[in-house]
Amino acid sequence: MPSAEFIAGWISGALGLVVGHPIDTVKVRLQTQSRYRGILDCILKTYKKETILGFFKGMSFPVASVAVSNSLMFGSYSNALLYINGTKCKDWKNPPKYYHVYLAGSFAGLVQVYFTAPVDLIKVRLQNQTESFKQLKPDIVQARYRGPFHCAVCIFKEEGIRGLYRGTNALIVRDVPTLGLYFLAYEVICKWMTRDGEIPDSWTMLFAGGCAGTIGWAAANPMDVIKSRLQMDGMQGVQYRGILDCICTSIKQEGLRVLCKGLTANSLRAFPVNAVTFLSYEKLLENFR
């Protein structure tokens, strides 16, 4: 049933997002703001100023929409892989070729980007809003947002439809190759930990999913930094002319280490999120069939 992959991806994506959003907020702030000395400093300052709720800023919109994004990603990946292999369902006893896995994963990355881009933009801007809307002065209220819908409306009014897709090219460069690597790592680790002809157990799926997420995000981190900066660009005037200009400017101002900003937070977040995502996805597919 082709729709089973989309439904399983929808549910597993929502579960993974709830697990990882607090760390994602820390990661985004480290990538785009210079006020923090590191992960612990960011956590302490966020908690002191905004309480525990500060870590969940921007989550409501992704929770409502990540179901669609993850559904597109896993559904596109699974159905593309089944099409390439000419099979009707996943068969652990006859695993697909690794280059087929990578191609299907890269295709999934391209498919989900155009839905993900506006959602991710709104999430990033809300996560970087350290004050509440009520605390702001009337003369700067247009630079801040009450919530996801208000954020989307403000961006559309100020920058047009193109504003909602700010950073999309960087998102494509980030997601297409790294999602291929992401799915490939999962399949390789599952096969490595499982005897030939056997189905991976739950612990294997958890570990493989966590490792795949960490590997994928480690590879994606440099472009993730650039993507986040391009998405924040435009709030106080346009600073970057594009991906290359953002890379060159960022490295010139902060050195090569700027491309590693948020890497630790990304890795910490990636393991539990993707462990939960893959396990729930595989188990849901198993139950559907």
pLDDT at 91 over 80: no
Q: Burial code of 208-231, b = ≥16 C-beta within 10 A, e = fewer? A: bbbbbbbbbbbbbbbbbbbbbbbb
Check residue 237 and report its DSSP letter: B
The more confident residue out of 16 and 136 is: 16
Position 137 confidence tier, pLDDT thresholds 50, 70, 90: very low
pLDDT for residue 252: 93
Longest dimension (CA), the chain: 66
pLDDT for residue 219: 94
Position 193 confidence tier, pLDDT thresholds 50, 70, 90: very high
pLDDT at 97 over 60: yes
pLDDT for residue 175: 93
Residue-wise pLDDT for 31-76, tens only, equals 777 788 888 898 898 888 888 888 877 676 666 677 778 888 988 9
| pTM given for the model | 0.80
Handedness of CA 236, 242, 243, 246 (dihedral sign): negative
Position 182 confidence tier, pLDDT thresholds 50, 70, 90: very high
Mean pLDDT for 238-264 is 89
In contact, 288 and 7? CB cutoff 8 Å: yes
pLDDT for residue 100: 95
Q: Among all chains, which residue has been given the structure tokens 């060159």?
A: 248
Where does residue 38 fall: left (phi above 0), alpha (psi -120 to 50 degrees), or beta otherwise?
left
The more confident residue out of 213 and 228 is: 213
pLDDT at 143 over 90: no
Report the distance separating Cα 142 and Cα 150, nearest Å.
Answer: 10
Position 288 confidence tier, pLDDT thresholds 50, 70, 90: confident
Mean pLDDT for 266-274 is 87
pLDDT for residue 49: 87
Could you state, in order of their start, the residue ranges of all structural domains in the chain? 2-288
Report the distance separating Cα 116 and Cα 167, nearest Å.
Answer: 11
Least confident of 25-34, 142-151, 153-162: 142-151
Check whether domain 2-288 has CATH 3.40.50.1950, yes or no: no
Position 2 confidence tier, pLDDT thresholds 50, 70, 90: low
